[in-house]
Amino acid sequence: MQERRRAANIITYVVLTVLAVAFLVPIALVIMNSFKNKLYISDQPFALPGEGTFVGFSNYIEGLTKIKFWNSIGYSLFITVFSVIIIIVCCSMTAWFITRVKGKISSFLYYLFVASMVVPFQMVMYTMTKTADTLHLNNLVGMLVLYLGFGAPMAVFMFSGFVKGVPIDLEEAALIDGCNPISMFTKVIFPILKPISITVAILDAMWIWNDFQLPYLIIGTKYRTVPVAIQYLKTGYGSIDYGHLMAVIVVALIPIVIFYFCCQKYIIEGIVDGAVKG
């Protein structure tokens, strides 16, 4: 029995190691090629930067300057940070209401959110674009509203599952102490939702930060987010300077990677409590 368990552990370890290498090798190649001259990236993509191919940080400087990176990162930070905040606040309150107020309306809303999780973006993007233009949502503030709409289904589902595990005795005690629903949520319920809130924040931040299609359709080149700006590294006749492209990709990854590693300890706990109980 112990030998079988040991063999299973070894197989699991080998498989996970292979998967980790498969995920890390492309990232390592991008970082490595970001320091090479563009003429050698296509010919020698797997070779380390050498004396004739190493260009230092020139790809980073020229690439970031070419796409006006600091303007783009400002737009991306604004949309990502405030969209995540709005999603967490609105969806946590919605999930609390749906979970605690039993009735046909709350049940209908819950299943409506769950059902909308399976609707692909491509199915609604044309009507969504027309609606956004009609309602004048084709700006930075309008993007927050759109991301709230697309991010709400998953967030409400996860928050609802977590709220079901919160003892209702806490809310009854808060009512006895004179709390109204708003103060009860802000002082009692929301602090308990910290693990799932951080999990939702990580998942939505990675999605919004890396999203290309929605910003491109709604705000286009007027407010170039980082993924949209990267697409404008093309030179004449559609050719791409891969040195600049890879350098910009590396810099664009840094903020979201730092955010993930700072909050990663909460993500498994939040996903398990939010999804399994739901």
Q: How confident is the model at residue 171 (pLDDT cuts 50, 70, 90)?
A: confident
Domain 58-276 is of which CATH architecture?
Answer: Orthogonal Bundle (1.10)
Mean pLDDT across the stretch 54-83?
Answer: 87
Mean pLDDT across the stretch 67-71?
Answer: 83
CA distance 242 to 214: 25
Tens digits of per-residue pLDDT, 213-270? Answer: 899 888 877 888 888 888 877 665 567 778 888 888 888 888 888 887 877 776 665 5
Half-sphere exposure of 245 (CA within 13 A, CB side): 15
Tens digits of per-residue pLDDT, 97-118? Answer: 898 888 888 888 888 888 888 8
pLDDT of residue 275: 45
Average pLDDT, rounded, for the chain: 84
What DSSP string runs through 150-191? HHHHHHHHHHHHHHTTS-HHHHHHHHHTT--HHHHIIIIIHH
| Residue 231: DSSP 8-state | T
pLDDT of residue 278: 44
C-beta atoms surrounding 256 within 10 Å: 18
Q: Is the pLDDT of residue 277 over 60?
A: no
